Chains A and B, each alone.
Chain A
Amino acid sequence: MPVFKVFFQILKTKSTLILIYMAVFMTFMAANVSQSRSSGETMFESKNLSIAVYDECRDDLSDQVIRMLQSDNQVELLDTASDTAISSEKQRLRELNDNVRYGIYDYALILPSTFGTDYQYNYFATTESSAGYIVSRQIDTFLKCVKINTEAGMDPGAAVREAAGVAEAAQGAPVRMISFPGNGGGHSGLYYAYKFMCYSLMMTIVTGICTVLSGMKNEDLLRRIRCSALSNRAFSLARFLASLLFATAIMCLFIVMAALVYREDTTAAAAAARILNLIPVCVCSAAFAYLLSALTADESIINMVTNMVCLSMSFMCGVFIDPSILSAGVLKAAQFMPFYWYVRGVSLADQAVGITSPAFLECIGIQLLFAAAFTAGGIVISRSKAAGR
């Protein structure tokens, strides 16, 4: 009990620091979610792409292309007149290229002055971008129709009109949406919040616990405690339980924050699954903190290792980037990290597979195994250090 109490007394003195860490990581989480979320839909709509158009041609053909793109995309027409902020055409194009590379626009279309005659256009899209295929295909299909109409003897105006008619008719392509339970289409803010939460949670918990435990690591202090009537086992247990309680409190704060900020319709089952999936992360974090504090009392080394582990794991397990872009080899290696199973659990929760499903339970179980491994490691190291004294 006294060790348990003193843990929280020390925590109180470090509370400002811990709150700062929490605020920073919560902000990271919110920024990440705002970039990633989409709302659920029940009927099919083509992905609304963000397209920038730079039209130097300004004739019927280019106007029609733009109108066609505007029908199911967000099109921004860039001013071709001189802009005081832009010094040259190449500079304009570089800015456009940067905006596409970093996702401000999905696609940038440049219609040169000769577009009306040779139908040749330029574009920017990221090299593996599906947006590039979609928009280019749409434009190429239209231009192909115009070319065929022209070759068939129609005058330019009629060729464009007829091609527009064909394109409009093709817009009615039969696409139907099938609704499966739990699948609202796309991922909600809560999905992305919980996905990112493992990183934020682990960083806050490990940093917080280690900050407190390092305050209890003074050699003379430990000697004093070892001379007392309190057994080593009781001492370690008290510290571990206090760490766990702290971790749980932090986890609850994150859950409440996510629920308040992302007030979306979610089923009770999905909510329960998300929270259940988060508990092993909380336990893992406490166990990892215990392992680290057994290894060293140096706060800067602890911070360094925590950052290294959390950031690397987050990248490799698909917390920061979409797991679908990671190679099979990486995903296989990621299976040896707790975050991989957590992210998998978040996906399963989003699909409303149910907390009793074997796949979901597997994710929980493996995460808890990692926690057990960290705890065991911490115990072994503590004992060997004690034996070495």
Chain B
Amino acid sequence: MFGHIFLYKTKELLRQKWCLGWNFLFPIILATAFYVGFGELIDSPGVLTEVSVAIVQTQDDSTADAFTDLVRSLSFMDVRIVSDDEAQQLLKDGTVSGILYTPSGDAAPGEPSLAVCANGIDQTILSQFLKSYIANEREMELILATADSPDDIRKAADLIGEDMSFGSDEINLRYDDSGAKQLSPYMHYFFSLIAMASLFASWISTSILGESMASHTEIGKRYECAPVPKSLSLTAGILSGLLTQLLCVTCLILYIQYVLKLSFNTPLIYVILLTSVCSVTGIASGVMFGALFGEHPSMNVAVPLLFSMICSFLSGLMVGNMQQIIQVYIPWLNRVNPAALLTDGLDSLCSYGLSSVYWLDMLALLILAAAAIAVSSLILRRKNYASL
């Protein structure tokens, strides 16, 4: 009996256009849109965003040329050498972020200057470059003033010409020795998408519950008249929904990994496992919504949709760092948001490897699922079919 209902329910779900559309097609299309939008940023190694700058050579001399050459040598600078009027027009249009003036008589002799029209990161980069240039000049003056011997001066001059870097961002934070590279923060959008797709499972269980209740549908009456315990038919239906959902999210994960070629940096089995648990939470939530709102057909559509969208938004689907912000200011919200639990777990897993964070997130998801089922059971036990 259980198997009979399970098989037919699965068949029914796999033939429903809305089920295939929402749970299978929509996440894949959105993943493709994400990939088209910023997939390159995930794949490529860290490249500083180009800063466009105009250089105005106030004087035609070797100092100005040396300054211009220095700016051009920086790979992230997009340099245009133009007249002052042209530079101002480019700045007004937003084509360049700033105008560098080579050393002129207006500023202190030997000092370049910068003109900007806004305060922003690009402008700060340009000003920082300017400060470094001026600091090198000042340092050379200091050495000239204080050095004991010409050798010291020569050594100092050689050192000033060197491009020194004392910092390193190569810190191994992984729990394992896989040596996987740092995960791009843009992958978080994909994790949020997977979370949203998992929570779409609530749609499936809401509709299964609605269909099985005699007070909601005629088919529900057939179920009630049949010699099948309600718990058995519901369980079979919900498990078939879960199977369908697992197939859909697994396809999504495989699509991201093998078609879009975005690596999760970790064995896929752990990704699929955590996602499956989130799907269970989605299914359980749907059962609860069906029990609470099943008698209002519009709510059957709206509530699962809004639930999935809100949880996904709070986990960073649209505003990439939303989850992190909530973690700082309202951390408990992330503990009760199933989408945030999944993205947190995936983030930890894919960035650092398998750890207690992963298992704790999974446990929290299971607790949420159990709570939803408990609430549903309480409500359903009290429901009497009645109509007029």
Is A bound to B?
A: yes
Residues of A within 8 A of B (CB): 14, 17, 20-21, 24, 28, 31-32, 35, 38, 41, 44-47, 49, 90, 93-94, 97-99, 101-104, 110, 119-134, 136-145, 147-149, 151-154, 162-163, 165-167, 169-171, 173-180, 183, 185-186, 211, 298-301, 303-305, 307-308, 311-312, 314-316, 320-321, 324-327, 330, 333, 351
Measured between beta carbons, the chain B residues less than 8 angstroms from A166 are: 135, 138-139, 142
The 14 listed contacts between A and B (C-beta, < 8 Å) are A21-B306, A35-B325, A44-B127, A165-B142, A166-B142, A173-B131, A174-B111, A298-B17, A308-B25, A308-B30, A314-B318, A315-B34, A316-B33, A330-B36
Measured between beta carbons, the chain B residues less than 8 angstroms from A102 are: 185, 188, 316, 320-321, 323-325
Measured between beta carbons, the chain A residues less than 8 angstroms from B324 are: 98-99, 101-104
Measured between beta carbons, the chain B residues less than 8 angstroms from A21 are: 302, 306
Given that A17-B302, A104-B328 are known contacts, is A120 also in contact with B41, CB under 8 Å in the complex? no
A-contact bits for B170-196, CB 8 A (1 contact / 0 none): 010100000000101100100000000
Given that A44-B123, A174-B114 are known contacts, is A312 also in contact with B313, CB under 8 Å in the complex? no
Measured between beta carbons, the chain A residues less than 8 angstroms from B336 are: none
Contact A183 B118 (CB under 8 A): yes
Measured between beta carbons, the chain B residues less than 8 angstroms from A14 are: 298
Docked CA distance A134–B91 (Å) = 21
Interchain CB contact (< 8 A) of B48 among A128, A308, A325:
A128
B156 located at the interface, meaning its Cβ lies under 8 Å from any Cβ of chain A in the complex: yes
Docked CA distance A305–B29 (Å) = 11
- Min Cβ gap B322→A in Å is 7
Docked CA distance A371–B166 (Å) = 56
Contact B120 A303 (CB under 8 A): no
Contact A152 B147 (CB under 8 A): yes
Docked CA distance A152–B141 (Å) = 13
Measured between beta carbons, the chain A residues less than 8 angstroms from B231 are: none
Interchain CB contact (< 8 A) of A308 among B26, B117, B322:
B26
Contact A45 B119 (CB under 8 A): yes
Main secondary structure on A side of the interface with B = helix
- Min Cβ gap A149→B in Å is 8
B301 located at the interface, meaning its Cβ lies under 8 Å from any Cβ of chain A in the complex: yes
Contact A128 B47 (CB under 8 A): yes
Residues of B within 8 A of A (CB): 17-18, 21-22, 25-26, 29-30, 33-34, 36-38, 40-41, 45-49, 51, 76, 88, 91-92, 94, 107-108, 111, 113-125, 127-132, 134-136, 138-139, 142-143, 146-148, 152, 155-156, 159-160, 162, 164-169, 171, 173, 182, 184-185, 188, 203, 298-299, 301-302, 305-306, 309-310, 313, 316, 318-325, 328, 347-348, 351-352
Known A44-B127, A98-B324, A176-B116; 14 more pairs at CB < 8 Å: A21-B306, A123-B168, A133-B76, A134-B124, A137-B129, A142-B135, A162-B146, A177-B115, A178-B115, A180-B92, A186-B120, A315-B34, A320-B318, A325-B49
Contact A47 B173 (CB under 8 A): no
- Min Cβ gap A241→B in Å is 24
Measured between beta carbons, the chain B residues less than 8 angstroms from A300 are: 18, 21-22, 203, 301
Contact B166 A321 (CB under 8 A): no
Given that A14-B298, A166-B138, A298-B17 are known contacts, is A186 also in contact with B167, CB under 8 Å in the complex? no
Contact B325 A175 (CB under 8 A): no
Docked CA distance A122–B356 (Å) = 26
Contact B114 A173 (CB under 8 A): yes
Measured between beta carbons, the chain A residues less than 8 angstroms from B117 are: 177-180, 183, 185
Measured between beta carbons, the chain A residues less than 8 angstroms from B155 are: 151-152
Residue of A whose beta carbon sits closest to that of B20: A304
Measured between beta carbons, the chain A residues less than 8 angstroms from B30 are: 308, 311-312, 315
Docked CA distance A186–B113 (Å) = 22
Interchain CB contact (< 8 A) of A94 among B88, B166, B352:
B352
Docked CA distance A316–B249 (Å) = 23
- Min Cβ gap A88→B in Å is 11
Which of A163, A173, A312 has most chain B Cβ within 10 Å? A173
Docked CA distance A144–B119 (Å) = 28
Docked CA distance A31–B352 (Å) = 29
- Min Cβ gap B88→A in Å is 7
- Min Cβ gap B354→A in Å is 13
Residue of B whose beta carbon sits closest to that of A101: B185
Residue of B whose beta carbon sits closest to that of A143: B166
Docked CA distance A140–B136 (Å) = 11
Docked CA distance A295–B205 (Å) = 26
Contact B164 A140 (CB under 8 A): yes
Residue of B whose beta carbon sits closest to that of A327: B40
Docked CA distance A185–B160 (Å) = 35
Interchain CB contact (< 8 A) of A301 among B18, B146, B182, B203:
B18
Measured between beta carbons, the chain A residues less than 8 angstroms from B298 are: 14, 17, 211, 299
Contact A325 B143 (CB under 8 A): no
- Min Cβ gap B17→A in Å is 6
Contact A28 B313 (CB under 8 A): yes
Contact A330 B139 (CB under 8 A): no
